[in-house]
């Protein structure tokens, strides 16, 4: 992971955003390692808090993340049926740390979600731990830190941020 450039990481994150916005969630899931985690902490805990000791909004291991994707692709996932339309904007991408096997990346995001004539905005930062598998970047951890005051007035994180 020593030689990878910020431009390559940006391409990866922009591609991830496209998969989410196009509702290609099974393909999006393939970006994650088998031991991956995806966290959205509540907004009154420390950014590095553990979901074993604190109440989060989302704390998925890889199994539950795959179930989340399965769920969201069903008609019976009522919160997202018909699918909302979203746009994930990714910015301020920065390499925070790198080691031989892993790279830590920070980014800022604004995600718009519109459904039934109502548009909500989610904003905050993402912290990624990325690794290389068979020459491809893969996500080992995605921690999504919302800057809003809880989920008022979005009311839910039924999409993937």
Partner 1 sequence: MNAFQRMNTALMVDEAKQIFKVSRQTFVDPDILEAERAKIFDKCWLYLGHSSELPKPGDFVTRQVGGRNILFARDAKGTLRALSNTCPHRGAQVCREKHGNAKSFQCFYHGWVFGLDGALRSQPGEASYAPDFKERSTSNMQLVPRFEGFRDFNFICFDRNVQGLDEYLGPVKEYLDVIADQAETGMTIVGGTQEYSMRANWKLLTENSIDGYHALTTHATYFDYLKATNGGLAPVPLDGAAHDLGNGHAVLEYKAPWGRPVAQWVPMWGEDGKKEIDRLYQGLVTRYGEERAKRIALYNRNLFVFPNLVVNDIMAVTIRTYYPLAPDFMNISAWALAPKEETDWARKYRLFNFLEFLGPGGFATPDDVEALEQCQRGFRNAAEVQWNDISKGMGKATPSYDDELQMRAFWSNWNKRVFATAI
Dist. CA 125–CA 94, nearest whole Å: 11
Binding-site member from 24, 85, 87, 156 for partner 1 (CB under 8 A): 156
Dist. CA 3–CA 9, nearest whole Å: 11
* Exposure string over 109-123, b if 16+ CB within 10 A, otherwise e: bebbbebeeeebebe
Based on the shown chain and the rule CB under 8 A, indicate whether residue 40 belongs to the binding site for partner 1: yes
Q: Which two tokens stand for residue 107?
A: 């980014």
Q: Which two tokens stand for residue 29?
A: 């899931």
Based on the shown chain and the rule CB under 8 A, indicate whether residue 101 belongs to the binding site for partner 1: no
Among 7-15, 21-29, 75-83, 123-131, the segment contacting partner 1 (CB under 8 A) = 75-83
Nearer to partner 1, 137 or 160 (CB): 160
Interface with partner 1 (CB under 8 A): 40-45, 49, 51-59, 63-64, 67-68, 70-71, 74, 76-80, 116, 118, 149-158
């Amino acid at each position: 992971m020593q030689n990878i450039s910020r431009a390559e990481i940006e391409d990866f994150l922009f591609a991830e955003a496209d998969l989410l916005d196009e509702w290609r969630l099974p393909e999006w899931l393939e970006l994650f390692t088998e031991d991956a985690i995806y966290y959205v902490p509540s907004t009154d805990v420390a950014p590095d808090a553990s979901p074993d000791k604190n109440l989060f909004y989302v704390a998925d291991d890889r199994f539950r993340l795959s179930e989340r994707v399965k769920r969201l692709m069903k008609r019976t996932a009522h919160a997202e049926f018909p699918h909302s339309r979203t746009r994930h904007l990714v910015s301020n991408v920065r390499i925070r740390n790198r080691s031989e096997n892993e790279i830590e990346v920070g980014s800022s995001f604004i995600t718009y979600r519109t459904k039934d004539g109502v548009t909500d905005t989610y904003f905050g930062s993402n912290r990624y731990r990325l690794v290389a598998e068979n020459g491809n970047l893969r996500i080992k951890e995605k921690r999504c830190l919302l800057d809003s005051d809880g989920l008022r007035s979005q009311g839910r994180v039924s999409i993937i941020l």
